[in-house]
Structure 1
Amino acid sequence: MLDGLRERIRVVGPGLVLAAAGIGAGDVVVASVSGLRFGTALLWAVVFTAGLKFVVTEALARWQFATGETMVRALVTRLSPGVSRVFAAYLLFWTFMVGASLSSACGMAGASLWPGISAPVWGAIHAALAAALVATNRFVVFQRVMKGLVAVMALSVLACALVAAPAWRSVLGGLTWPRIPADGGGRAVLALIGGIGGSLTVVCYGYWMRAAAWGGVRRLPTVRGDLRLAYGFTGLFGVALMVIAAGVAGSAAGGTGIALEVAARLQEVAGPAGRWVFLIGFWCTVFTAMLGVWQGVPQIYVDLVQAWRKQVAEPRGTSAPIVSDCGGTAVAAWDRRVEWAALFFLAGPPQVLLWFRQPVTVVVAFSIAGAFVMPFLAAVLLYLNNRRDWMGVLANGRLGNTALVFSLFVFGVVCCAEVIGALHS
């Protein structure tokens, strides 16, 4: 029995990495604000969102198993050249903004635990530390670090939820009885769907599968189980955050300051220990998200550049020399420089924004750009996975198509709402 449990824990790494990378400051903000405003009424929306993102990620995994190609490479080899170019331009912008966002959140978390150093300095320290850990360690070591941080993060937040929870009957009702409260409940549901779980980090799951040597159709049941664990954890974490916020009194502070607001209110309910436990959980949350992004996103750049080089080189019958391994993926010697450049772009230039208030135009632009990720992924996978000449037996069936079309519709509505809201803000 113990041997079976150890084996199960050993093989869940990619899913836990995906969950940790996808849960960041944005999840804390949107779940906490929803809990403070609407109590437990919108818990069902968190579970619903986790289910939608499972659908998209499972489709991505099936594509990779059927073709041996990552989704990023498919943008180059299977679609119009303009698609990959637009994606590359978006990737540059998203990378800069997510680097600033995660550094800012880690800086705030660090300053809340050790206030002797300013938040911008803490942000730069976290960014440099994460880059060093990713650059010097292989995936196995990275995976172990993530598992440890995820364990602390889960125990901290769940412990706070148990202490601060309102009547458990209301929690159960919020999970099982979908309803949309008046006075902003609809907007809150859309915010939860757009804010809970990963966005572009979903694409990184393909690289983490490859790093764990998960390939072939026989691995598909294992991957589905792994993704159930990943999004089950994502849903549980979001629910716990909303329960904590619903159980404490307070006003919704702006931005990531909501975490400090909840921590302060939690101290009134559970004493200083409650505040410290929550802040430690918050720090683990944002730092694991940073580690996941720092490790996964550079591989998107490497994959994209490799695909472009291969497209140019194949007519001449040439190929790049393979000399090293990055997260389980063979890369050319100079592709290592692409990886390092992407890592520097994440950890370096975005620090400038930590020392200044972000202009409203930048925030609006980031909100608009970020809203397109999930509908874009759902639309591309809906096309790719219906090509039976590419997918074979792993092509979408009726259930798969229905789930992806529904996901595309929901994420499309969220995208439109985000764009309209950002333009009117």
Structure 2
Amino acid sequence: MLKLLKSIGPGIVVAATGIGAGDMIAATVGGAKYGYMIIWAVILGGVLKYILNEGVGRWQLQTDTSLADGWITHLPKILSWYFIIYLILWSFIVFGALMAATGLAAHALTGILSVKIWAAIHSLIAIIIVFVGSYKHFENLMKLLIALMFIVVVISSLLLKPDIYTILTNIINPTLPEGSVKYALAIIGGVGGSVTILSYGYWIKEKKWIGSKFFPKMKIDLAIAYILTTIFGISIIIISADLKPEVVSGSGIVIGLADKFGELTGSIGRWIFLFGFWGAVFSSMIGVWQGVPYIFADFIKSFFRKSKSSDSLKSSKDYKLFMILMGTLPFSLLLLGKPVWLIVIYSVIGSLFMPFLAFTLLWLNNKNALLKSKKNSIIINMFLIINLLLFLYLGIIEILKYL
């Protein structure tokens, strides 16, 4: 078992990156409002994100190219333009949000320095870690952080002595209480990341997983990742359902949850829970700072430079420039706030990304000429269609908010 855990890794990185403030907020709000009745949404979200991530990994192993390269090569150019614009907007907003979340977690944990100062410190540390460390060092750090937050959150949930029978009943017989649809959809959409799913292809390449012989290992790697992600989400719902923090907006609800946990277990319990929250958001920061510049550098190389060079993307100027810019410029959002026009554009364009990803995996991964014997199975296609319809529905709802 230990040998297996040592041999896998990119999936653990995906899990550590995908579990962040957004997941915790969605699960906390849902749990506080509807308790165990909404646990099934975490499981469904984990399954759907596994299907998407498996498609990205299967494309990478079978074609030895990234999915981004597949879009550039096999889809109309307008779609590549759409994605690169979205990637820049997404990065600016998400990098800024992660700075704020890590700053909040560190401030709540230590009680010293301001949120903004902690945000800047964490971003600088993340940049240094990515610049100095190899992929192996990065992966080992992410394994350590996910172990930290997983142990803290799961043990915290078990200390509350949850009603296992009721939990299993709600999993086996899922229901949608009145008014819970938007919360369930938020949990499903929040589990396991979004754009960072694309980073998995680059991470398995860094791991030297090349060719079809790594398919079994890739599937196990991702299965472990999403099982961990799902258990983490369920644990947050259990804690929130039992403690019922005051439902406030943003990351503040997680701090409220820690306060409630502290009332039950003492100040040490509160501190330990906040330490787990810090581990979750800081691992997301490191994963995003390391993984997203790959996507940008890949697009610049293939779409704009038309280069087929096999040189490492991580050593490229485009990778380093993007990471430095996105590790610094979004700090302005903490100082000035988020402009309404930027949020509207980001929300409208971003609402279409997940259905776009599902559609392209349906389109490209079903082509005999490209994936041959590794093309989608009927079951995979069925789940991709569910992904497409669900996230298209969520996207339409998001767009209608601004009309």
Q: TM-score, normalised by structure 2?
A: 0.96
Q: Which region of structure 1 is more displaced relative to structure 2, 371-380 or 356-365?
A: 356-365
Q: State the Cα distance separating 1:325 from its structure 2 match.
A: 3.6
The one-letter amino acid of 1:189's match is A
Say if 2:40 and 2:170, in contact at 8 Å, map to a contact too: yes
Deviations 1:125-161 (A, max 9, x none): 1011001100111100111111111111111111111
Say if 1:165 and 1:247, in contact at 8 Å, map to a contact too: no
The whole-number CA distance in structure 1 between the counterparts of 2:105 and 2:146 is 16
Q: State the Cα distance separating 1:382 from its structure 2 match.
A: 0.6
The partner residue of 1:380 within 354, 360, 368 is: 360
Say if 2:245 and 2:253, in contact at 8 Å, map to a contact too: no
Q: Which consecutive residues of structure 2, in runs of 5 or more, have no partner in the other structure?
A: none
For the pair 1:38 / 2:17, whether they are aligned, the reply is: no
Say if 1:105 and 1:286, in contact at 8 Å, map to a contact too: yes
Partner in structure 1 of residue 286 of structure 2 = 291
The whole-number CA distance in structure 1 between the counterparts of 2:302 and 2:313 is 16
Say if 1:21 and 1:198, in contact at 8 Å, map to a contact too: yes
Say if 1:157 and 1:278, in contact at 8 Å, map to a contact too: yes
For the pair 1:346 / 2:326, whether they are aligned, the reply is: yes
The whole-number CA distance in structure 1 between the counterparts of 2:120 and 2:232 is 27
Say if 1:371 and 1:414, in contact at 8 Å, map to a contact too: yes
Say if 1:109 and 1:279, in contact at 8 Å, map to a contact too: yes
The one-letter amino acid of 1:78's match is H
The whole-number CA distance in structure 1 between the counterparts of 2:2 and 2:75 is 42
Deviations 1:29-88 (A, max 9, x none): 100000100011100010001000111111111112221111011111111122111111
The whole-number CA distance in structure 2 between the counterparts of 1:355 and 1:247 is 36
The one-letter amino acid of 1:66's match is Q
Partner in structure 1 of residue 148 of structure 2 = 152
Partner in structure 2 of residue 131 of structure 1 = 127
Partner in structure 2 of residue 268 of structure 1 = 263
For the pair 1:22 / 2:1, whether they are aligned, the reply is: no
Deviations 1:180-229 (A, max 9, x none): 011x2111111111222110000000001101111211111111111111
Matches within 5 A, 1:178-217: 178-182=174-178, 184-217=179-212
The whole-number CA distance in structure 1 between the counterparts of 2:112 and 2:51 is 45
The partner residue of 1:221 within 216, 220, 234 is: 216
The partner residue of 1:52 within 48, 54, 73 is: 48
Say if 1:54 and 1:227, in contact at 8 Å, map to a contact too: yes
The whole-number CA distance in structure 1 between the counterparts of 2:209 and 2:253 is 39
The one-letter amino acid of 1:114's match is T
The whole-number CA distance in structure 2 between the counterparts of 1:356 and 1:266 is 33
Q: Which consecutive residues of structure 1, in runs of 5 or more, have no partner in the other structure?
A: 314-318
Say if 2:102 and 2:118, in contact at 8 Å, map to a contact too: yes
Matches within 5 A, 1:108-127: 108-127=104-123
The whole-number CA distance in structure 1 between the counterparts of 2:9 and 2:258 is 30
CA RMSD of aligned residues (A): 1.7
SS in 2 for 1:39: helix
Partner in structure 2 of residue 307 of structure 1 = 302
Total equivalences in the alignment = 403
The one-letter amino acid of 1:423's match is Y
Q: Which region of structure 1 is more displaced relative to structure 2, 352-361 or 254-263?
A: 352-361
Say if 1:107 and 1:123, in contact at 8 Å, map to a contact too: yes
Partner in structure 2 of residue 402 of structure 1 = 382
The partner residue of 1:176 within 172, 184, 188 is: 172
Q: Which region of structure 1 is more displaced relative to structure 2, 236-245 or 409-418?
A: 409-418
Q: State the Cα distance separating 1:356 from its structure 2 match.
A: 2.9
The whole-number CA distance in structure 2 between the counterparts of 1:55 and 1:75 is 18
The one-letter amino acid of 2:243's match is V
Q: State the Cα distance separating 1:399 from its structure 2 match.
A: 2.0
Q: State the Cα distance separating 1:171 from its structure 2 match.
A: 2.0
Distance change >3 Å, CA 418–CA 193, structure 1 → 2: farther
The whole-number CA distance in structure 2 between the counterparts of 1:309 and 1:354 is 32
The one-letter amino acid of 1:120's match is K
Matches within 5 A, 1:91-106: 91-106=87-102
The whole-number CA distance in structure 2 between the counterparts of 1:212 and 1:250 is 41
Say if 2:49 and 2:191, in contact at 8 Å, map to a contact too: no
Deviations 1:359-404 (A, max 9, x none): 4444444333332222111001110011111111111232222221
For the pair 1:246 / 2:225, whether they are aligned, the reply is: no
Q: State the Cα distance separating 1:173 from its structure 2 match.
A: 2.2
Deviations 1:238-278 (A, max 9, x none): 11111110110332111110111101111112221221111
Q: Which region of structure 1 is more displaced relative to structure 2, 202-211 or 398-407?
A: 398-407
The whole-number CA distance in structure 1 between the counterparts of 2:190 and 2:248 is 17
The whole-number CA distance in structure 2 between the counterparts of 1:166 and 1:364 is 40
Partner in structure 2 of residue 316 of structure 1 = none
SS in 2 for 1:16: helix
